[in-house]
Structure 1
Amino acid sequence: MSHTAPTDAALVAALRADLTRAGYTADAVRRVWGPVADAATGRGLHGPALRALEGRGDALAVLCRTLFLGTAASVADVDRALPETGARGLAALGLVTVDGDTVTPAVLLRPQDLADAAGAVSWWVVSDLDEAAVGGALPTGHVLGVGGASLTLAGLQLSTPAERVLDLGTGCGIQALRARRAAPQVVATDVSERALRFTELNAALNGLDGIETRHGSLFEPVAGERFDRVVSNPPFVITPRVAGVPEYEYRDAGFAGDDLVAAFVSGVGDVLTSGGTAQLLGNWEYRDGQDGLERVRGWVAASAVPLDAWIVEREQLDPLSYAELWVRDGGTVPGSPEYARLIDAWLDDFAARGVTAIGFGYLLLRRTPIGMPPLARYERVSQPVAGALGPHLGEALAAWDRLGLLDDEALAAATVITASDVTEARHHRPGEEDPTVIELRQGGGFARVLDVDPALAALVGASDGDLPVGVLIDAIADLLGADATALRADLLPRVRELVFTGFLRVA
């Protein structure tokens, strides 16, 4: 796609109508080539899908081959599949090139489903050709399509309404499209003019107004402005700053080590309204024995404005595994001399800073509301999580704010209700009546599993909203023969934790 080509509204409308008429949806694509081929395409292997489409000339098959997989087609086939747009229309939009009777894709245009608290939505997303379509290493100006990381962040986005949202490092614009569902105004920024053109086209193709694009790095394009929410899947990948190592715009912003994420964390407070939130994905280094999460804590402390921080480390890689991940991501073939050279460059870079591991995870930051206690939570959560986390994160923040208004006396006077997704498991040694382990399991949220003692298990089991927490604790103390005052001092902080993490809610 030409980075200077303006978006032709009439052609885009024609393409939208053609795609709708052809039934070019994610579900339809999966049905066309079946589950095995679908899994293969997710791994960058197009062979099974192409074999499944062999001999088919219907519109959906043509679109799958040409727009999803990036293989050439005839002008006649494309004209039949997209009667209003035609091959020439796609070329005018910069999506293909036409040479004689051959249509060669210049980009991918793929259907994408997304579900959040507002319901399910289907989009079409245009991005650059992937490795399988290119047939080798990606160009450094590559604009990435919708991948696992971008879907993760889309699912993390808070679903509560906002007025203005900043999507920093928008790429193909998937986060901007997602943010537009919660806010009437979205500003999408990127250092890549090409990425901004993709974002504009994707907004137009899906009939979304209210998305403004701006060119620039970090917060420069929005200096002096304020937003209720900032979302970012920034180019956080740690890349050696040496000659001969490709610098991919979609993953590398030219910063050394984890300095990009540090700059985001320490600077985002300046563009947030009071109570405004920022959400991003990021990497952080473990250096010379220093805990990576403590590094993030230092970045939060460096903010000029007070920030709440909820940092969740989801994964930790050693330097070699990290290097292999991103060298492969660029399309360099394992086992080749170039692969070995790039791996050495990564390892030398990590060794120079004393890096022993690299953490990856989610960062939720908030400009601390005036008069509220700050949130500072740094944790490791490695278990699989099902579904979008955005609603859970929003409920946790609301719970934190409500708990901040309740001292221990007020909490004891409140009633709480056990969440409907919480179950209890008890483990007994053979022949013993009393359990040796009692677990509370969370079906939603972060799917936490907590070991609890009989007193807390009894409190959670009795929390149906009828009796205040303090009354329940007194009854449990009497049942266990414990001191009621001591039991309150023990259980009330843990009740706060269970309310924040979603096991309990204040009635």
Structure 2
Amino acid sequence: MTPRLVPTLTPASAGALRAALEGWTVDSVEAVIGERAARAFAREQVLPARLAARASSLPAAVLTRLFLLGDAVTRAELDRTLPGVGTAGAVEAGLIETAGEGRDDAVRALVDLRPYAAVGAGGEARWWVASDRGEAVTGARLREDHVLGIGGASLTLAGMTMRTPVGRVLDLGTGCGVQALHASLHAREVVATDVSRRALAFAAFNQALNAEALGAAALDTPWDLREGSMLDPVEGEQFDLVVSNPPFVITPPGAPAFEYRAGGEAGDGIVAGLVSRVGSVLAPGGVAQLLGNWEVRGEDWSEGLEAWLDASAAAGRPLDAWVIERDRLDAAEYAETWLRDAGVIPERGRAEFEAAYRAYLEDFDARGVRSVGFGMVLLRRPVSGTPTLRRLEQHEGALQEPFGAYLVDALAAHDRVAAMSDGDVLATAWTAAPDVTRESYGPVLQADPSHLLLRQGAGLGRSVSMDTALAGFVGACDGDLTAGQIAHALAALLDVESDRMVAGLVPAIRELVKDGFLA
């Protein structure tokens, strides 16, 4: 396979390119192409956006056509759109290729370059992110050394990452560096690793292009970029936060493999190895947050995950764990999803598609894999003592965005209530969270409701079924009375022994605090 170039910047050319791109933002792109085309582009349909952008001569339209939509523009258009850089500077940076030296000669992009906006504690951050062009724009199957850009998975990971200030962050499998960009806003030091040299080069380009937006620390301390597989480049080191969208895609022999998504391990071995080993690089109190998938063979979807966590503990690295399975695909659905992602579709070659499809089905059947789950994994090394959290759950509903803020609060609530005795729980005056509502329903002619529910508006949007006692307790949680005072009042009101009321309420209170219903 012929090696491909990657874009590069000097400090001077980075500053000139930043200045030239200044007005090209997420909002300006949406203004140029319109809402309908933006929705189509999110579905990887490029034509509506191309047609809309071609109708405008604004600089944002020219850049959008060239770098996002795979359209050709003229040298004259690009010279006018990138003052101080021009066509010559974009060629030197490795961003474009030209058909000639004339003003009307065509210019085409060599990379995908797009504006990106993220909201953090310090407000909105605006960046530009370069990667390889996708199949929707090129119309061709991806190459094995493809460097993935911003997609649904990277946005999910960025949204679920906890953004508290930390010392050292490891972005494992950095790709084009999106997670490292986010980490730069709340970390003192960023180490980014990848098995792909092209990915590391793209990450270096993206940090250089956005160094000014990342602040003085990024200018003084560039990311520590290291080539290598998984945890090998950081063996023996410790980090306060590890984030990873690892190459977890299960890729049997005979199926197309790509550096960015297939790590070379059989089955779900990449995620298994990361879950069981990542504790070795976590500092006390350190957290690892990753995406992944896991094979399901029996009735218990979490059996494999439990085994990986047990393996970590057996190796002397016991971890708190919170896993949320968000989706589940059977073998055929999984094969179709990842073949389509790679551009291997019947329309491009039925024989190749069917051979790869067969490889997936035969591999899963031979190993007894019934389905594959996908979701989020949060692991934490206890500061001291033994882990207190092992929560493996399934959730299909919408998530609060950004989800990371919810996780920060949820872990703090778990730690607080885990450290409390039953007496402490009863001595505390709890308050119902502001996003929590109470619902009751039953037959119209029935005086008392058949069902009582607490429903959460934020976070995981959980709902909890309540009996009369628990409903009465939560209804009285306004911060004035302690849990013990409310419990004894309810016991008298419902004619129940106080000890029995307390025994039933205390574990329920603990769960409501952990889930964010009570604060």
Q: Aligning the two structures, in what range does the TM-score lie when normalised by the shorter sequence?
A: over 0.9
**Is 1:2–1:94's contact at 8 Å kept on the other side of the alignment?**
no
- Give the deviation of 1:496 after TM superposition: 0.9
For residue 38 of structure 1, what is the aligned residue in structure 2?
A: 38
Q: AA paired with 2:345?
A: V
For residue 15 of structure 2, what is the aligned residue in structure 1?
A: 13
Whole-angstrom distance in 1 between the partners of 2:260 and 2:143: 10
The answer to whether residue 267 in structure 2 is matched with residue 263 in structure 1 is: no
Whole-angstrom distance in 1 between the partners of 2:289 and 2:371: 23
- Give the deviation of 1:225 after TM superposition: 0.7
Q: How many residues align?
A: 500
The answer to whether residue 244 in structure 2 is matched with residue 232 in structure 1 is: yes
Alignment of 1:332-347 (within 5 A): 332-334=344-346, 336-347=350-361
Whole-angstrom distance in 1 between the partners of 2:360 and 2:19: 47
Segments of structure 1 that go 5 or more residues without pairing to the other structure are: none
For residue 299 of structure 1, what is the aligned residue in structure 2?
A: 308
- Give the deviation of 1:5 after TM superposition: 6.0
Q: Mean Cα displacement is larger for which, 337-346 or 219-228?
A: 337-346
Give CA deviations for 1:109-159 in whole Å, capped at 9, x if unaligned.
111122244432221111110112211211111111111111111011112
**Is 2:166–2:241's contact at 8 Å kept on the other side of the alignment?**
yes
Q: AA paired with 1:299?
A: W
Whole-angstrom distance in 2 between the partners of 1:356 and 1:117: 42
For residue 430 of structure 2, what is the aligned residue in structure 1?
A: 416
Whole-angstrom distance in 2 between the partners of 1:54 and 1:104: 15
Q: Mean Cα displacement is larger for which, 257-266 or 330-339?
A: 330-339
- Give the deviation of 1:423 after TM superposition: 0.7
Q: AA paired with 1:86?
A: G
The answer to whether residue 175 in structure 2 is matched with residue 206 in structure 1 is: no
Whole-angstrom distance in 1 between the partners of 2:57 and 2:405: 43
- 2:488 pairs, out of 466, 470, 474, with 474
SS of corresponding position for 2:492: helix
For residue 384 of structure 2, what is the aligned residue in structure 1?
A: 370
Whole-angstrom distance in 1 between the partners of 2:301 and 2:201: 36
Whole-angstrom distance in 2 between the partners of 1:482 and 1:462: 18
**Is 2:400–2:406's contact at 8 Å kept on the other side of the alignment?**
no
- 2:463 pairs, out of 445, 449, 458, with 449
Whole-angstrom distance in 2 between the partners of 1:468 and 1:417: 10
**Is 2:284–2:381's contact at 8 Å kept on the other side of the alignment?**
yes
- Give the deviation of 1:4 after TM superposition: 6.6
Q: Mean Cα displacement is larger for which, 271-280 or 8-17?
A: 8-17
**Is 2:172–2:242's contact at 8 Å kept on the other side of the alignment?**
yes
Q: Mean Cα displacement is larger for which, 195-204 or 481-490?
A: 481-490
For residue 47 of structure 1, what is the aligned residue in structure 2?
A: 47
Q: AA paired with 2:18?
A: R
Give CA deviations for 1:212-241 in whole Å, capped at 9, x if unaligned.
21110011111111000100011111111x
The answer to whether residue 263 in structure 2 is matched with residue 253 in structure 1 is: yes
**Is 2:294–2:373's contact at 8 Å kept on the other side of the alignment?**
yes
RMSD: 1.5
Alignment of 1:480-495 (within 5 A): 480-495=494-509
- Give the deviation of 1:450 after TM superposition: 1.5
Give CA deviations for 1:30-73 in whole Å, capped at 9, x if unaligned.
11111110011111111101111224322111001001212222
Whole-angstrom distance in 2 between the partners of 1:503 and 1:434: 24
Whole-angstrom distance in 2 between the partners of 1:118 and 1:480: 50
Alignment of 1:260-409 (within 5 A): 260-287=270-297, 289=298, 291-303=300-312, 304=315, 305-334=317-346, 336-371=350-385, 373-409=387-423
Whole-angstrom distance in 1 between the partners of 2:41 and 2:451: 44
Whole-angstrom distance in 2 between the partners of 1:238 and 1:141: 17
**Is 1:116–1:388's contact at 8 Å kept on the other side of the alignment?**
no
For residue 60 of structure 1, what is the aligned residue in structure 2?
A: 60
- Give the deviation of 1:372 after TM superposition: 5.4
Whole-angstrom distance in 1 between the partners of 2:513 and 2:164: 19
- 1:431 pairs, out of 441, 445, 461, with 445
- Give the deviation of 1:290 after TM superposition: 5.2
Whole-angstrom distance in 2 between the partners of 1:362 and 1:352: 27
The answer to whether residue 518 in structure 2 is matched with residue 504 in structure 1 is: yes
- 1:144 pairs, out of 141, 144, 148, with 148
Segments of structure 2 that go 5 or more residues without pairing to the other structure are: none
Q: AA paired with 1:494?
A: A
**Is 1:13–1:205's contact at 8 Å kept on the other side of the alignment?**
yes
- Give the deviation of 1:13 after TM superposition: 1.0
Q: AA paired with 1:19?
A: L
SS of corresponding position for 2:187: coil
Whole-angstrom distance in 1 between the partners of 2:27 and 2:8: 31
Give CA deviations for 1:272-323 in whole Å, capped at 9, x if unaligned.
0011000000000012x15231210110111121100001111111111111
- 1:173 pairs, out of 170, 177, 200, with 177
For residue 79 of structure 2, what is the aligned residue in structure 1?
A: 79
For residue 121 of structure 1, what is the aligned residue in structure 2?
A: 125
Whole-angstrom distance in 2 between the partners of 1:119 and 1:363: 27
Whole-angstrom distance in 1 between the partners of 2:453 and 2:491: 20
- Give the deviation of 1:29 after TM superposition: 0.6
SS of corresponding position for 2:307: helix
Give CA deviations for 1:417-475 in whole Å, capped at 9, x if unaligned.
11111111110211111111111111111111221112111111111111111111111
Q: AA paired with 1:11?
A: S
% identical aligned pairs: 48
The runs of at least 4 aligned residues of structure 1 exceeding 4 Å deviation read 1-6
- Give the deviation of 1:333 after TM superposition: 2.2
Whole-angstrom distance in 1 between the partners of 2:12 and 2:487: 67
- Give the deviation of 1:181 after TM superposition: 1.4
- Give the deviation of 1:373 after TM superposition: 4.6
